[in-house]
Each structure stands twice: as structure tokens, then as C-alpha cells.
Structure 1
Amino acid sequence: MAIDLYLVMTREPCVFIRMLAKHIGVEVNLKPMTYDDQGRLPADYSKISPLNKVPAMDDNGFVLYESTAICYYLLNKFAPASPLYPHDLQKRAKVDQILWNVSSFLQPVASSYIRTAIVRRKKLTAKELSAFENTVLRPLQDMIGGKKFVVGNGLTVADIRLVSIMACFVPLPVVDKQKFSDLHSYYEQTRAMVPSFSEVYDWILEPRGKEWETYE
């Protein structure tokens, strides 16, 4: 039986869960929602996710929200032996560290900069761009450290999570390809290792890139 996945199709945490589910072969029944003019989700959604955050899932009556919690659930139930979530204690701890750093800091902070530009339809100012580089890009490049895989010698769910959030800004001109060459290299090689990336993300990224070009 497919898992019901409640989501906003363009929200990055939702895209991450879709990519992970496809990668480990979990069938999901998409329950797409949209925000109203006040930025609110349907009123009855609070019965599923009290904080009105997406995504949320319903696995035959078991309801869970928060993307990192859903990530762990899917891996532990459907792919317990997958190298995406290493059994080695120290490698697993490093994967956990990245997952929680992304969900608690990187995703909300990076999204706030990009969303600001999208809402006002203007590119980041020089001051904002400098802050974005110092707050998001440099720490992220240090985290990756020029490695092919962020943990160990193979693809893990940490890589899928990172490439998911990086897709929100690396393709845009807010990231200098020369200054942050390691980020670009990591992003391009990792997205190529996630077969579902193009399916779940390209329809979002291509229009966003074209729209960004129209900003002042």
C-alpha cells in the first residue's frame, strides 16, 4: 500500500522526501496542497501536522510530520540495510549531523535569502549577497570540504539532502562559480547520482532560473 504524502510540490523539504522515496523504491500517493493568499494551508491539515509544516505522511494510519523524521522512518522501515544510512556508528552520526544542520539552519536561512528576492522580484543587494556567502555558502563549502561524498566513500542520504537544498540556490547567479567551485562540482556530480532529481526538480528549477533573470 502506498504512503500518503502531504506536500507543497515546490517546497524543498517535500522534494527531498520525494527523491528519497523514489531512490529506495517506496511508492507514495501524493496529496498536493497550496497556500492561500495569506500563506496558509487548508484548515483541516492542522489535524495531520499541528504546526502546519510540510511534508507530512500517513502510512496506513501512522501519521508523521517533519522531513527529517520522515526520512528516518522511510529508511528504517523500507531500506534498513541501505548504504544510504550507514550502519557504522561514526558514519551514521556524521550523516545525522548533516541532516539536522540542514533542517535546523541551512534550509531556513538559505531559503529566507532566496525567498526575499523572489517576493520583491529583485536580486540580492551587494550587502545581502555578502551576508549570504558568509552565512550559507562558505560554511557549506567547508562542510563538503572538496570531497566527492560528504560522508564516507559512497552516496548517503546526507548527499541527497544537501543536493536538494543546494538546488535552491547553486543554479542561480547568487553563487560565484569560481569562488565556490567546490560547491558547483559537488552539486553537479551529486545530482547526476540521484536518478529522480530531474523528474522531481527540473520543472521547478528551469522556470525559477528564467524568472530570476528578469529581476533588477
Structure 2
Amino acid sequence: MATGRLVEVYLDLLSQPCRAVHILLTCTKIPFEWTLVLASLVCAGEHRTLDFTKLNPMQKVPVMVDDGFVLTESDAILKYLATKYDVPEHWYPRQPERRARVDEYTAWHHTNTRPHAAKVFILEVLLPAQSGSLVDEARLNRALSDLDDTLDKLESMFLRRQPFLCGDDITVADLLAACELTQPLGGGRDVLKERPQLQRWRSRVQSAVGEAFDKAHVSINLSMNRCWSSIFEMKIKKSYLYFVP
């Protein structure tokens, strides 16, 4: 059921789950407006304000407000939007077995694809940017090994011989996974480089959502520019405090 209202979302497009929400809203043409809330590891702050904490006491993005109804957690937001609004059923199928396949992946996602892909990006990009130190190669190699195990399972358990993670059509599960596995590209690392099956899946996801995928990822620049400004200001303040007699 669509309405004339705008769905409000609070997003940091450096966040993979936030991009998944942005893509679904864009490609399904649900009317929405979004507010940038910097909440990443290296530029934390805006998600800790009093006003934002009133919306989400957990101080995390994404947050959705739909006619006064406040919802947190990307998985819940994606499924809510796909259930409430007039969007193609394939996003979150009504048929119990097909819906259960989506729920199966999204439950697995939060302890596998999400932390393992995110850790590679954190170790290779965010922590060095924050601290000014070199990449910890030992920790990075362990993270890459964990991610390889996850990618093996994505291929053997979820994709198998089907085009998308949960069947013949794209679902919210594919959005969550694709955004996570795109994240390491921010450090110049394509984690699917040696995995043609997953490369073909990623291409199908991007083709299915069209320019919505590019919009969400191009919009990272807005978050990145503000993020690096925050890092620079933070380092200047630290240097100033260090040299004050």
C-alpha cells in the first residue's frame, strides 16, 4: 500500500546496510527522503547526538521513520518496506517456502558475509586512515581467510545452480550481500576477482537494480568527503593538544 507520504531514512552511505536500504527505495520508487548521519568507525559523532539517540537509543544507522513509525536494523527495514509498499513480490516473497529462503540467508548473513567482508575493509582502509599506521598484514590475512570460507559457502550453499541467492529472482538478501562484498573495493580489493560464479551473480544484481546500485555507491563520495574532513580535523586537534605547553 503506497501513500503520498515520504518515508524518512537516516543513512551513512559508507555503511553497507544503509546502501542496501537506499537501493531498494530507489529502484522500487518508494517516495523517500534521506538524511546523512555520519556514523562510521572513523567519523563517529552524528549518530550520538541527543536528537538521533531519541530516534534510536542504539545510536546506529539505518533508521526509518514511516508516518511516525520508527524502525531500526537494515534487515527489518528492508522487509518492512517490501511488505508494506506496492513493490514486486520477488523482493520478499509471500509464499512461505520462498520467504523462508530469504530469512534463512539474512539470518546467516549477519554472522558471516557481513562481519567477514566488513573486517577486510576495516583493517585495510578505516583503521589505517584513523591511526595513520600501516595495515596489520597478519590480521588482514586471517580476515581474508575467513572471508574465503564465507565465499565458498555462498557459492556451494546459496547460489549453487540458481541465479540469485534465494532463487530465480532478486530479493533483499541479494542487496545485503552485494553491498557487503562491494565494500572492500573501497580499498582497491575485489574479493570476487578469482570467483567467476560470484562475479556473474554480482553482475546480475547490478543489472536487476539498474542505476539504483550506482547511485548508492556514487553517493559514498558525499559520506567519504565529510568523513575525511572529520579525520583531518581530529588529527589537527590531536596535534594541537600535543604541542600545547
TM category, shorter: 0.7 to 0.9
Larger Rg: 2
1:7 aligns with 2:11: yes
Pairing partner for 2:29 from 4, 21, 25:
25
Distance 2:18 2:217 in 1: 11
Pairing partner for 2:168 from 149, 153, 166:
153
SS in 1 for 2:184: coil
Distance 2:15 2:86 in 1: 24
- Please, which runs of 5 or more residues in structure 2 have no aligned partner? 225-245
Q: Which residue of 1 aligns with 2:189?
A: 173
User: How do 1:90-129 residues align onto structure 2 when only pairs under 5 Å count?
Assistant: 90-118=97-125, 119-120=127-128, 125=137, 127-128=141-142
Distance 2:168 2:39 in 1: 40
On the 8 A contact 2:116/2:143 being kept in 1, the answer is no
Deviation at 1:123, TM superposition (A): 5.7
1:193 aligns with 2:218: no
On the 8 A contact 2:61/2:72 being kept in 1, the answer is yes
Are residues 141 and 133 of structure 1, via their aligned partners in 2, closer, same or farther at CA, if it must alter by over 3 Å?
A: same
Q: Which residue of 2 aligns with 1:65?
A: 72
Question: More deviation in 37-46 or 189-198?
Answer: 37-46
Instruction: Return the letter of the residue paired with 2:92.
Output: Y
Distance 2:56 2:116 in 1: 22
Aligned-residue RMSD, C-alpha = 2.7
Deviation at 1:20, TM superposition (A): 0.8
- Please, which runs of 5 or more residues in structure 1 have no aligned partner? 209-216
On the 8 A contact 2:105/2:166 being kept in 1, the answer is no
Are residues 129 and 57 of structure 1, via their aligned partners in 2, closer, same or farther at CA, if it must alter by over 3 Å?
A: closer
Are residues 125 and 184 of structure 1, via their aligned partners in 2, closer, same or farther at CA, if it must alter by over 3 Å?
A: farther
Pairing partner for 1:136 from 142, 150, 154:
150
Q: In proportion to residue count, which structure has more helix? A: 2
**Structure 1, residues 73-109: CA drift from partner, whole Å, max 9, x if none?**
1111103662222222111100111122223432123
Deviation at 1:151, TM superposition (A): 2.0
1:39 aligns with 2:53: no
Instruction: Return the letter of the residue paired with 1:22.
Output: T
SS in 1 for 2:191: coil
Distance 2:58 2:38 in 1: 16
Are residues 79 and 96 of structure 1, via their aligned partners in 2, closer, same or farther at CA, if it must alter by over 3 Å?
A: farther
Deviation at 1:55, TM superposition (A): 0.2
**Structure 1, residues 159-202: CA drift from partner, whole Å, max 9, x if none?**
22222222113684352633x22111211222121120011113
Distance 1:125 1:155 in 2: 36
TM-score of the pair, normalised by structure 2: 0.73
Deviation at 1:134, TM superposition (A): 3.5
Distance 2:13 2:144 in 1: 30
SS in 2 for 1:139: helix
